[in-house]
């Protein structure tokens, strides 16, 4: 009786369609079905592994996930170096908060939230305006600075900004930029604000918010206006417009502000952007080299990811486009089909 109860407890029943009779399904048939399902799953995994090995013979399928995580690359952060007029350097991310230096009638402070602030000293007449400082971010670095006139600047990775320590005695506020920066310029119509880029382009502005991307290793320079007035070459931009000069060719286009300012807001946003342009941004932020293996660097991709995540998260978003895979090694990202 005990054996009979055990067997009936492991039986499934179904109702026959023709006569409504209850027909028991023996347990051994159910067990066979389970074994068959396991075998099919094993064959499927084996097939996927074989296809992967055929397409990527140099990549270990077994260790791929572990390798991707083991060599994952952490995001950049607040890192920059300040070079003073006398040639001395201060590594800002290692410096203590508070007053760093005082020169040309200006006190330079590092705030608790990792920003650099230049403040004019009341009653100090030593404001020649001819002493220059340079702040530089490395690959994997970003920094915010408030200039002596109150203008706020956000520097992206691998960028530098040269500026006077005081604008008091100068007829114009002239600074030099290499790389990428976002500006919120303090209004002062009597003292025009000018940015000279590494591409030797002059951007003339009044009280305004704008972004400039002008890297040495990029063939283009982009100036994007968000508020106010900006003049580049002979063109005057309206908010939402972007001025592009690429190997001597000029174009003005309408852009999505969120996409342009993604880097400042801690994001990667790519919308139909060439792979090579995307990987340059990733390379600068994660401080890695990029190696291409049989891929079209001009192919367009889209994606969105946080800049505060490890590199693997941004790369996974790009893989969702299909037709591309990544392998992370020490100090290097390999781009594959």
Q: What is the DSSP string of 17-61?
A: TTT--EEEEPHHHHHHHHHHHHHHHHHHHHHHHHHHHHH-TTS-T
Mean pLDDT, the chain, whole residue set: 83
Asked whether residue 140 falls in the same domain as residue 244, the answer is yes
- Tell whether the model's pLDDT for residue 66 goes beyond 80: no
Asked whether residue 331 falls in the same domain as residue 203, the answer is no
Task: Choose from 5-19, 24-38, 323-337 the range with maximum mean pLDDT.
Answer: 323-337
Which of 229, 262, 295 is the C-terminal boundary of a domain?
262
pLDDT score of 164: 94
Domain assignment present for residue 4? The answer is no
Mean pLDDT of 242-246: 95
Write the DSSP symbol of residue 187: P
What is the β-pairing status of strands 289-293 and 332-336?
parallel
Q: What is the pTM of this model?
A: 0.78
In contact, 283 and 289? CB cutoff 8 Å:
yes
Asked whether residue 217 falls in the same domain as residue 287, the answer is no
Asked whether residue 272 falls in the same domain as residue 254, the answer is no
Mean pLDDT of 323-335: 94
Asked whether residue 81 falls in the same domain as residue 187, the answer is yes
Domain assignment present for residue 297? The answer is yes
Q: What is the pLDDT of residues 160-200, one digit of tens each?
A: 999 999 988 889 999 999 999 999 999 998 899 999 999 88
pLDDT score of 36: 53
- Tell whether the model's pLDDT for residue 48 goes beyond 70: no
Which pair of structure tokens corresponds to residue 277?
A: 């342009």
Which of 239, 262, 285 is the C-terminal boundary of a domain?
262
Write the DSSP symbol of residue 165: S
Number of domains in the chain: 2
pLDDT score of 246: 92
Give the confidence band of 44 by pLDDT, cuts at 50, 70, 90: low
Asked whether residue 142 falls in the same domain as residue 248, the answer is yes
Asked whether residue 110 falls in the same domain as residue 179, the answer is yes
Asked whether residue 140 falls in the same domain as residue 222, the answer is yes
Asked whether residue 293 falls in the same domain as residue 323, the answer is yes
Domain assignment present for residue 66? The answer is no
Domain assignment present for residue 316? The answer is yes
Domain assignment present for residue 130? The answer is yes
Asked whether residue 244 falls in the same domain as residue 306, the answer is no
* Separation of alpha carbons 154 and 213, rounded Å: 12
Rg (CA), the chain: 30
pLDDT score of 85: 92
Give the confidence band of 62 by pLDDT, cuts at 50, 70, 90: very low
Asked whether residue 102 falls in the same domain as residue 210, the answer is yes
Asked whether residue 225 falls in the same domain as residue 172, the answer is yes
Residue 311, domain extent: 266-336
**Which has the higher per-residue pLDDT, 12 or 309?**
309
Give the confidence band of 104 by pLDDT, cuts at 50, 70, 90: confident
Which of 222, 241, 262 is the C-terminal boundary of a domain?
262
Q: What is the pLDDT of residues 116-154, one digit of tens each?
A: 999 988 655 555 556 899 999 999 999 999 999 999 999
Domain assignment present for residue 222? The answer is yes
pLDDT score of 156: 98
Give the confidence band of 103 by pLDDT, cuts at 50, 70, 90: confident
Domain assignment present for residue 27? The answer is no
Domain assignment present for residue 42? The answer is no
- Tell whether the model's pLDDT for residue 19 goes beyond 50: no
**Which has the higher per-residue pLDDT, 268 or 121?**
268
CATH of the domain at 279: 3.55.50.30
């Amino acid at each position: 009786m005990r054996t009979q109860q055990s067997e009936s407890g492991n039986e499934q029943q179904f109702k026959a369609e023709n006569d409504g009779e209850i027909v028991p399904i023996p347990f051994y048939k159910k067990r066979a079905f389970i074994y068959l399902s396991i075998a099919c799953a094993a064959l499927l995994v084996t097939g996927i592994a074989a296809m992967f090995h055929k397409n990527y013979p140099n990549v270990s399928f077994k260790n791929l996930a572990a390798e991707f995580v083991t060599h994952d690359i952490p995001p950049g952060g607040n890192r920059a170096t300040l070079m003073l007029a006398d040639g001395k350097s201060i590594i800002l991310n290692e410096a203590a908060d508070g007053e760093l230096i005082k020169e040309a009638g200006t006190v330079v402070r590092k705030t608790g939230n990792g920003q650099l602030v230049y403040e004019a000293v009341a009653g100090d007449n030593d404001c020649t305006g001819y002493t220059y400082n340079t702040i530089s971010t490395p690959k994997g670095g970003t920094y915010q600075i408030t200039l002596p006139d109150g203008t706020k600047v956000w520097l992206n990775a691998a960028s530098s900004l040269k500026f006077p320590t005081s604008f008091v005695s100068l007829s114009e506020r002239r600074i030099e930029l290499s790389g990428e920066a976002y500006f919120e310029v303090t209004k002062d119509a009597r003292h025009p604000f000018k940015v000279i880029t590494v591409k030797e382009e002059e951007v003339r502005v009044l009280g305004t918010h704008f972004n400039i991307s002008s890297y040495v290793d990029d063939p283009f320079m982009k100036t994007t206006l968000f508020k106010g007035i900006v003049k580049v070459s002979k063109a005057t931009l309206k908010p939402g417009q972007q001025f592009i000069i690429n190997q001597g060719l000029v174009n003005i286009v309408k852009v999505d502000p969120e996409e342009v300012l993604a880097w400042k807001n801690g994001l990667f946003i790519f919308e139909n952007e060439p792979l090579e342009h995307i990987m340059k941004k990733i390379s600068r932020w994660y401080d890695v080299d990029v190696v291409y293996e049989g891929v079209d660097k001009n192919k367009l991709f889209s994606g969105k990811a946080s800049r505060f995540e490890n590199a693997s998260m941004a790369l996974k978003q790009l893989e969702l486009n299909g037709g591309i895979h990544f392998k992370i090694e020490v100090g290097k990202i390999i781009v594959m089909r």
